[in-house]
Structure 1
Amino acid sequence: MTSPARPGSGDAWTVDDLQDLPEDGQDYEIFDGSLLVSPHADVRHGAIANRLRRLLDRQAPPGLFVGQDVGVSAKRSSYFVPDLFVAHEDALERGGPALAPADVLLVVEVVSPGNAGRDLVLKRHEYGVAGIPRYWLVEPRKQTVTVLEHAGAGYRESAVLSAADTYRTDTPFTLVLPVADIF
């Protein structure tokens, strides 16, 4: 088994370096030039992300795209792949290795027990500094959705929703979300 191509000693990882990594069941992201490796999400995690994607996709207006498996460059030396995102559709036509934060209206992370700190602290900070307007944290164990809105250089909590709630909002588009439907 050969080891994956890596930047030279002392060099930072870039999005381009990720292309040379194997398809080995791991998820790769970059924070400040350092490679982050996580096991691929489990079935329940994927099911929750897919249910939420379908609910958002049905209500998204023309010109907005609800997607998965596309990275966001939080800043020049960081690259994250949210479980879901809502972006301007024309940003997808430009191509490139990652979406720019200015094109992303919402990122969603389904919190995994094994790397909860990454979603709850690291990504919250990085997405906030990047100026992404909305960040949702879906917590399967608690069956909650925490809605965060950009404020200054970070986020403020605007709602914590339980499975008994129906979330109604006009941002990033007019949406009615029965929270129980994603769990």
Structure 2
Amino acid sequence: MTVTSPARPGTGDVWTVDDLQDLPEDGQDYEIFDGSLLVSPHADVRHGAIANRLRRLLDRQAPAGLLVGQDVGVSAKRSSYFVPEVFVAREEALERGGPALAPADVLLVVEVVSPGNAGRDLVLKRHEYGVAGIARYWLVEPRKETLTVLENVDGRYREAAVLSTADVCRADQPFPLVLPVAEIF
């Protein structure tokens, strides 16, 4: 279940990335959309396994200067902050530190779609990542066992491919890669 809180309790102020450091380590995932706090339980084991497999597959092929990572947030704007399951970013961006990656440093974000948060991944994040200018967005759907590849064109994503476990994802961006989709699942 997802709970949305429009303002910080007792303050009436909107949530910002800086407020996240004060939240407890309580088994919940926290993100911010347009100043509202989005709270979700941690993903299940299969969800985590898929994200980890994909991260490892990408990491094996990533060239020097690019980092494939997890558990780092992307600040779409000061009042929005999302944590993709997997991302590819310029390594120097992570060296600079800060509470979140800037969209200009992120070459790819990947979300593993959860049944309880499908709308967030398929609609909200797709829109926000697109407007922020992130070049590529991949959606991994465990129930369908598909990988949807989206490319940013003028701030909106267009579907470049929907791949099943019988397919191999071949791409030049964010770096040259060959990825058998079946190995994700």
TM-score range, shorter chain: over 0.9
Q: Which residue number corresponds to residue 180 of structure 1?
A: 182
Which digits, 9 at most, give the CA deviation of each residue in 1:102-150, with x for residues without a partner? 0000000000001100000000000000000000000000000000000
Structure 1 CA distance for aligned equivalents of residues 121 and 53 of structure 2: 19
Of stretches 53-62 and 17-26 in structure 1, the one that deviates more from structure 2 is 17-26
Query: Does the Cα contact within 8 Å between 1:83 and 1:108 map onto a contact in 2?
Result: yes
Q: Which residue number corresponds to residue 51 of structure 1?
A: 53
Q: For residues 7-46 of structure 1, what are the structure 2 equivalents within 5 Å?
A: 8-46=10-48
Structure 2 CA distance for aligned equivalents of residues 73 and 21 of structure 1: 17
Query: Does the Cα contact within 8 Å between 1:7 and 1:13 map onto a contact in 2?
Result: no
Structure 1 CA distance for aligned equivalents of residues 39 and 180 of structure 2: 33
Q: Which residue number corresponds to residue 91 of structure 2?
A: 89
Structure 2 CA distance for aligned equivalents of residues 15 and 159 of structure 1: 33
The alpha carbon displacement at 1:7 in A equals 5.8
Q: Which residue number corresponds to residue 73 of structure 2?
A: 71
SS in 2 for 1:17: helix
Structure 1 CA distance for aligned equivalents of residues 77 and 19 of structure 2: 16
Structure 2 CA distance for aligned equivalents of residues 10 and 31 of structure 1: 16
RMSD of aligned alpha carbons? 0.8
SS in 2 for 1:41: coil
SS in 2 for 1:98: coil
Q: Identity percentage over the alignment? A: 87
Query: Where does the alignment leave 5 or more consecutive residues of structure 1 unmatched?
Result: 1-5
Count of matched residue positions in the alignment of Structure 1 and Structure 2: 178
Structure 2 CA distance for aligned equivalents of residues 34 and 141 of structure 1: 29
> Deviating runs (4+, > 4 A) in structure 1?
none
Structure 2 CA distance for aligned equivalents of residues 8 and 169 of structure 1: 49
Q: TM-score, normalised on structure 1?
A: 0.96
Query: Does the Cα contact within 8 Å between 1:7 and 1:17 map onto a contact in 2?
Result: no
Structure 1 CA distance for aligned equivalents of residues 121 and 15 of structure 2: 20
The alpha carbon displacement at 1:8 in A equals 4.7
Query: Where does the alignment leave 5 or more consecutive residues of structure 2 unmatched?
Result: 1-7
